[in-house]
A and B are shown apart, each in its own frame.
Chain A
Amino acid sequence: MKRSIGTATAWTVGFLAMFGILALIGRAAANGSEPAASVGPRMTPDNGAGELLVPVVGGVYGTREEAVTANASMQVGDLQGYYVIPVAQFQGFREGVGVPGDFALVSVFRTDEGAQEFAEFVQSFGYPATILAERVRSLGGLYAGLGQERNLDGTGPLLGPIPESMP
């Protein structure tokens, strides 16, 4: 009898000691590190390479710094406004805008409706917004706002080419 009581007591004390040690180890352990970068395929930003896009232009500047400074002064509430983009990223842009300079404030769209909506929004803040008369061909490069317009079928954002944007 005494032996069985002793065995039970030993098991209980053992378990408690084990839990205590585990708790101490867990408490002392470092916080979990950030998960490692995914090894799976990653989506590249949608820059519409090869597509014919409608640019809304907020200005053209000689240097990136000038463009960045100008863009910082054109806040449109809490929403994303223009993107600073090298002019050479779009074939036909220089001819369309007719102003010298290597960097521009641009947001591009696949639909005329998306461009018009954004232009009206920016203009309501008193900032310039010119929709180029001719579509320009994207040569890839930096992200310039594609996808931030409604899909024509009304299901959500427009995330792919449409017949009007295909060459």
Chain B
Amino acid sequence: MSSPEPTARSRQFGRLMPVAIAVVLVVAPVLVGWHWAKLGWRDKHYNYPGTPTGYTQIVNRFGQPCNADASAISMKWPASDNGVTYTPRFHRKLGGYPTEVVSNKGGKSTNLDNDVYGHIQNAHLSQYTKSGIWGYLCRYIAGTTTWSTHAWGIAIDISASYEPQGSCTSTVNKNFAYIFKQHGWRWGLDFCDPMHFQYAFGY
């Protein structure tokens, strides 16, 4: 019993098949590589300052509240819900170091603007960073005469419109809080302030 003669269509398919396989083999790694690289983003972990504990260590590491370094670096952070791009400022020791995706801003590390922000983008979690994004402000904690960690530029509020102070649960920030924690930050949910992330403990 002899096998049937291949038709012209099947012969054409047979010729194109290796080409299609070759294209897939070439394109797929490129797509995967681009996805993970995110146009060149890399987690650097360069020159992080130790996370201070308490007022004295904060001052020793980051200087007096409201000093010039506290607001030296800024970054663009678009909110996912209202289309507003916020420009939080923060301490020179927490970012601004040149990387593939951050220009040289005179900063000393890659913590916030490259690593934390990059992880959030890379993990497709930016949909959870919503309106109300604040960094440096020379201001006391509400209702006190104690300096807020914002006055050192070592705190950032995210999704302020969705994470009211005093709430001991989180609605959106819970989705990316682990990234901050993995990079030396403390989440304010510990003291019922879920919008707040600070690069300090015991304060």
* CB–CB B165/A80 < 8 A: no
* CB–CB B66/A121 < 8 A: no
* CB–CB B142/A75 < 8 A: yes
Contacts of B195 in A (CB 8 A): 77-78
A: contact size bracket? 20 to 34
Q: Which residue from B64, B71, B137, B144 sits with its C-beta under 8 Å from A121?
A: B137
* CB–CB B139/A79 < 8 A: yes
* CB–CB A148/B138 < 8 A: yes
* B78 interface contact, C-beta 8 A: no
Report the minimal beta-carbon distance from B163 to chain A, rounded to whole angstroms.
9
* CB–CB A148/B140 < 8 A: yes
* CB–CB B63/A156 < 8 A: yes
Closest residue of chain A to B67 (Cβ to Cβ) is A156
Contacts of A80 in B (CB 8 A): 139-144, 148
Once the chains are docked, how many angstroms separate the CA of A99 from the CA of B151? Answer: 33
**Interface hits, B150-188 → A, CB 8 Å:** 150-151, 157, 160, 164-165, 188
User: Secondary structure at chain B's binding surface: helix, strand, loop or mixed?
Assistant: loop
Tally of chain B residues near chain A (CB < 8 A): 28
Once the chains are docked, how many angstroms separate the CA of A127 from the CA of B128? Answer: 24
Q: Which residue from A75, A79, A158 sits with its C-beta under 8 Å from B148?
A: A79
Q: Which residue from B63, B64, B196 sits with its C-beta under 8 Å from A78?
A: B196
* A117 interface contact, C-beta 8 A: yes
Report the minimal beta-carbon distance from B89 to chain A, rounded to whole angstroms.
10
Q: With contacts A78-B195, A121-B137, A149-B138 known, is A155 near B143, CB below 8 A?
A: no
* A114 interface contact, C-beta 8 A: yes
* A154 interface contact, C-beta 8 A: yes
**Central interface residue in A81, A157, A158, by most chain B CB within 10 Å:** A157
Report the minimal beta-carbon distance from B51 to chain A, rounded to whole angstroms.
19
* B115 interface contact, C-beta 8 A: no
Once the chains are docked, how many angstroms separate the CA of A156 from the CA of B137? Answer: 12
* A165 interface contact, C-beta 8 A: no
* CB–CB A154/B67 < 8 A: yes
* CB–CB A79/B142 < 8 A: yes
Closest residue of chain B to A151 (Cβ to Cβ) is B66
